[in-house]
């Protein structure tokens, strides 16, 4: 297959277009009559590429399709990653999925587990009237921008003094989860910006949802996997960006963890 034909077909499919849409697009724009079945056969050629891609240990580590998300599901994913050769993970930033932290510790016991601060703020706002939400966010920010975990906890206590009468659930939830909310305080500010939130992976998820939400269903898991894989390849800029001052961050981590971090 000539790349001048295959490349645009894969690109259009990665954007979420159906086989019929792509066929019509080629007919209208280039007066080329490619049937939907032919378009399907072109996109099927990435299956071998997907198999190879799933075996590597860089960037996005894999695609896993399941009926529901839970700690057991994530434990199986982590086991797969470990089986593929990952011996150690220094730091996990996770959402508030129940049991996720225990699943991580069971497979990578040396790992540090950080609860996503942004998710926690969003969860806190569920209890808040819209007229108080901006001030609540401002006061919570005072807590997670402190220099140390001790100062952050002191600020949380001040938050409670101000808001406990109206919203006692907020401080209670933060204190209960403090062990997983506070690890990022131990690191330099530049590194904190990377590890305090799951925003980076959430941005990646948005790219994937964008191409799947317009389709009612997929014929099988392979078809879904193909769509997601091509979407990832099309949106590499959203998840392959280098962290600012990464060399400085790596040096700081090496001082902290010594031989747990390989050479860059």
The domain segmentation of the chain, as residue ranges, is: 1-44, 71-200+241-256
20-34, 58-72, 190-204 — which is least confidently predicted? 58-72
Nearest Cα residue to 117 out of 186, 192, 176: 192
Nearest Cα residue to 141 out of 165, 124, 129: 124
pLDDT digits (tens, 9 = 90+) for 107-152: 999 999 999 999 999 999 998 999 999 999 999 999 999 999 999 9
Whole-model pTM: value is 0.73
pLDDT digits (tens, 9 = 90+) for 151-174: 999 999 999 999 999 999 999 999
The confidence band for 213, taking pLDDT boundaries of 50, 70 and 90, is confident
The confidence band for 253, taking pLDDT boundaries of 50, 70 and 90, is confident
Q: Token digits for 58?
A: 């860089």
Of residues 224 and 216, the one with the higher pLDDT is 224
**d(Cα 15, Cα 216) in Å, to the nearest integer?**
15
Contact predicate 89/113, CB 8 Å: no
**d(Cα 117, Cα 114) in Å, to the nearest integer?**
8
Q: Is 118 exposed, middle or buried (0-12, 13-18, 19+ CB in 10 A)?
A: middle
Predicted confidence at residue 57, as pLDDT, reads 78
CA distances from 156 to 181, 197, 249 (A): 12, 19, 28
CA distances from 42 to 16, 90, 176 (A): 15, 40, 52
Enclosing H/E stretch for 217: none
Enclosing H/E stretch for 94: strand 91-94
Quick one: what percent of the chain has pLDDT higher than 70? 94
**d(Cα 49, Cα 70) in Å, to the nearest integer?**
29
**d(Cα 74, Cα 52) in Å, to the nearest integer?**
22
Kindly state the average pLDDT of the residues 217-245: 84
The confidence band for 259, taking pLDDT boundaries of 50, 70 and 90, is low
pLDDT above 70 for 30: yes
Kindly state the average pLDDT of the residues 68-92: 91
Predicted confidence at residue 264, as pLDDT, reads 46
Of residues 188 and 246, the one with the higher pLDDT is 188
Enclosing H/E stretch for 133: helix 130-144
The confidence band for 1, taking pLDDT boundaries of 50, 70 and 90, is low
Average pLDDT, the chain: 88
The confidence band for 244, taking pLDDT boundaries of 50, 70 and 90, is confident
22-26, 167-171, 249-253 — which is least confidently predicted? 249-253
- How many angstroms separate the most distant Cα atoms in the chain? 70
3-state secondary structure of 113: strand
């Amino acid at each position: 297959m000539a790349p001048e034909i295959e490349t645009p077909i894969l690109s259009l499919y990665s954007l979420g277009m159906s086989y019929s849409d792509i066929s019509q697009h080629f007919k209208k724009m280039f007066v080329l009559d490619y049937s939907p079945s032919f378009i399907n056969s072109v996109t099927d050629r990435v299956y071998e590429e997907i198999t190879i891609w799933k075996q590597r240990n860089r960037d996005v580590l894999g695609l896993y399709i399941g009926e529901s998300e839970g700690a057991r599901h994530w434990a199986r994913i982590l086991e797969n990653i470990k089986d593929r050769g990952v011996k150690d993970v220094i730091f996990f930033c996770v959402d508030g999925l129940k049991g996720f932290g225990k699943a991580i510790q069971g497979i990578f016991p040396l790992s540090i587990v950080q609860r996503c601060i942004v998710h926690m703020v969003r969860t806190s706002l569920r209890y808040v009237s819209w007229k108080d939400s901006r001030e609540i966010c401002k006061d919570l920010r005072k807590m997670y921008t402190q220099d140390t975990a001790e100062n952050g906890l002191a600020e949380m206590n001040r938050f409670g003094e101000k808001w406990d009468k109206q919203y006692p659930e907020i401080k209670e939830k933060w204190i209960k989860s403090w062990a997983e909310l506070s690890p990022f305080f131990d690191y330099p500010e530049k590194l904190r910006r990377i590890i305090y939130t799951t925003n980076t992976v959430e941005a990646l998820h948005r790219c994937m949802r964008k191409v799947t939400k317009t389709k009612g269903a997929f014929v099988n898991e392979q078809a879904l996997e193909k769509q997601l894989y091509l979407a990832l390849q099309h949106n590499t800029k959203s998840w392959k960006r280098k962290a600012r001052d990464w060399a400085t961050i790596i040096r700081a981590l090496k001082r902290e963890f010594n031989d747990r971090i390989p050479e860059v």
